[in-house]
Amino acid sequence: MLEHNHYERAAAAWLRSAGLAFVPVHERQRASLGALEGSQDSSTVKSPDFLLLGSGGSSFVVDVKGRRHPSGTATPRAPGEATGNPGPWHQQGVARKKSGGTWECWVTLDDLDGLARWSARLGPGWQGLFLFAYWLDDNFHAPEGPDLFGFEGRRYLFRCAQLGEFRQAMRVRSRSWATVDLPVRAARRVVKPLGQVDGLRPVSAGCLQGVGW
């Protein structure tokens, strides 16, 4: 976790408000996990942001991915037209120039490698998890709910994707930048509220159950 990163600070505050147990990881430098038995790979690996402790023997290595939404310039809206939708991929959003209306869920190959290697090193019961923190534009409408969180004058909507499901459905986004993402149809299935992940049952009543899904 980087203290100067407002997405990661907001994620920590949100997890804390939900009563979930987690450990922030200092990530200013890459980590050395050592070579696993039967492997000769002793290279350094990207550090995660949090170790999130779940229930039933499940725990999660968490990488927070901050994204601004919407990132483009809004096109003029008809009178009475909604200013946004309640969450990623819930319904057709407001049309925007270029790709600004997309709920971005891209990650790098280094991100994938880091979560996979940390999960393997920590052992059985550990899974990789991407936590997408969407910083919402002030004019973007989203109904109040447990996934919508105000912090330091900004609004964030949180969604997550488990590493295994992400890897099965991902596609190449940019070879030159070594990034991948999810097709929209797959994103509707893979990207979800945190409370829908097995092993992460909310502590507070009604917490993390999703906004309008």
Report if residue 204 sits inside a domain. Answer: no
Q: What is the pLDDT of residue 183?
A: 92
Average pLDDT for 61-69: 94
pLDDT band, residue 47 (cuts 50/70/90): confident
Report if residue 55 sits inside a domain. Answer: yes
Rounded Cα distance between 155 and 142, Å, is 10
Rounded Cα distance between 194 and 53, Å, is 13
pLDDT band, residue 67 (cuts 50/70/90): very high
CATH at 90: 3.40.1350.10
Report if residue 1 sits inside a domain. Answer: no
Report if residue 59 sits inside a domain. Answer: yes
Condensed to tens digits (0 to 9), the pLDDT of residues 9-41 reads 999 999 999 889 999 997 666 566 665 545 555
Average pLDDT for 98-125: 86
Most confident of 52-61, 97-106, 137-146, 199-208: 52-61
Q: How many CB atoms lie within 10 A of CB 18?
A: 19
Condensed to tens digits (0 to 9), the pLDDT of residues 132-153 reads 999 998 888 877 778 899 999 9
28 is written with which tokens? 């200013």
Do 10 and 65 form a contact (C-beta atoms < 8 A)? no
Condensed to tens digits (0 to 9), the pLDDT of residues 174-196 reads 999 999 999 989 998 999 999 88
Report if residue 205 sits inside a domain. Answer: no
Give the contacts of 105 (CB within 8 A, at least 6 positions apart): 65, 67, 88, 130, 132, 161, 181, 182, 187, 191
Give the contacts of 201 (CB within 8 A, at least 6 positions apart): 54, 55, 195
Range of the domain at 173: 6-196
Name the 3-class secondary structure at 180. strand
20 is written with which tokens? 């979930």
Tell me the residue type at 125.
Answer: G
Report if residue 208 sits inside a domain. Answer: no
Report if residue 211 sits inside a domain. Answer: no
Number of domains in the chain: 1
Report if residue 116 sits inside a domain. Answer: yes
